[in-house]
Structure 1
């Protein structure tokens, strides 16, 4: 998929986490995670700029998603520590949230590429090849439809989560 489709896929993958953040009363984290998901949406395609790295190779695997999750977990822990003067629960919560948001953004990208005839090998070369053949990566309708789904999913998650928070009085 192209940029628009990947933005939508990453937002769609992140939407359940956004719902949880909003429902639990953490709107800043929820919106920050959405920004992070958008910022990371195209990272797997950096492989096209790296000599000797195959496109849709290592950067399109769950292993890469895990590596990104470690980095974003460390960033989340740092933000939690800064925001709370080192409160251990906030630091741990920030790490878990940051790691999950980072992993979901990359997994959303991989999922979008699985929709194309070229497909992906999400477990690496020795794992299964997944291709649903829904549309080619350059299909404008497919990319914009995925973007629209991601935006809609994000908005539903945001407002539904906020509504749950309000109803529960959390």
Structure 2
């Protein structure tokens, strides 16, 4: 069962890589956004838990990511707007929804890197387009590729945070 955690690490790494530019721009806020993206990046694999739901099917589409993000925006706005403090509720809810969307998108990106053939290829625009999206660079169970994604994501996040700190402090790195 060792390889199962490597899949998780590959998805986490992909989320960190995708979110690194936001960490560079937003600093600590971007780092927090990255952690949210990592927290949700494995949600499309909920299809493993239900036999009636095809793996890399509906949960591996842009539509799923958009729907989940929309629910997060609605729920976030409803929650933030009733807090007894004056916050830009809609802006924060939209930011949270965009972060969740990017976290889910990172999952699709990571799966597209794999060899996935037939039912294992993702079709991110299904049912509008039946065409598979795969780069076929690595096997999904490649310990090396999953570790490389995770370590690369952590390095990109670290570099992005250093860039954000240098913008604030004026220290050139």
Q: Which bracket does the TM-score occupy, shorter chain normalised?
A: 0.7 to 0.9
2:166 aligned partner: 163
Unaligned 5+ runs, structure 1: none
Distance 2:164 2:155 in 1: 14
Q: Distance in 1 between matches of 2:83 and 2:108?
A: 32
Which residue in the other structure is 1:114 paired with?
112
Counterparts of 2:122 and 2:128, CA distance in 1: 12
Using the size of structure 2 for normalisation, the TM-score is 0.82
Does the 8 Å CA contact 1:80/1:86 hold for their aligned counterparts?
no
Residues 93 and 11 of structure 1, relative CA distance in 2, 3 Å threshold:
same
4+ residue runs of structure 1 moved beyond 4 angstroms? 78-84
CA RMSD in angstroms comes to 2.3
Query: Could you say if the C-alpha distance between residues 109 and 135 of structure 1 is closer, same or farther in structure 2, counting changes exceeding 3 Å?
Result: same
Q: 1:52 — aligned with what?
A: 52
Q: Give 3-state SS (helix, strand or coil) of 2:34's partner.
A: helix
The 1:100/1:84 distance shift into structure 2, 3 A limit, reads farther
The answer for the alignment partner of 1:99 in structure 2 is 97
Can you list the C-alpha shifts for 1:14-51, whole angstroms capped at 9, x where unaligned?
Answer: 222222221xxxx2x33332221111121110111123
1:1-170 to 2 correspondences below 5 Å: 2-22=7-27, 27=28, 29-74=29-74, 76-77=76-77, 81=81, 85-87=85-87, 90-118=88-116, 119-127=121-129, 128-167=131-170
- TM-score, structure 1 as length reference: 0.83
Structure 2 gaps of 5+ residues are 1-5
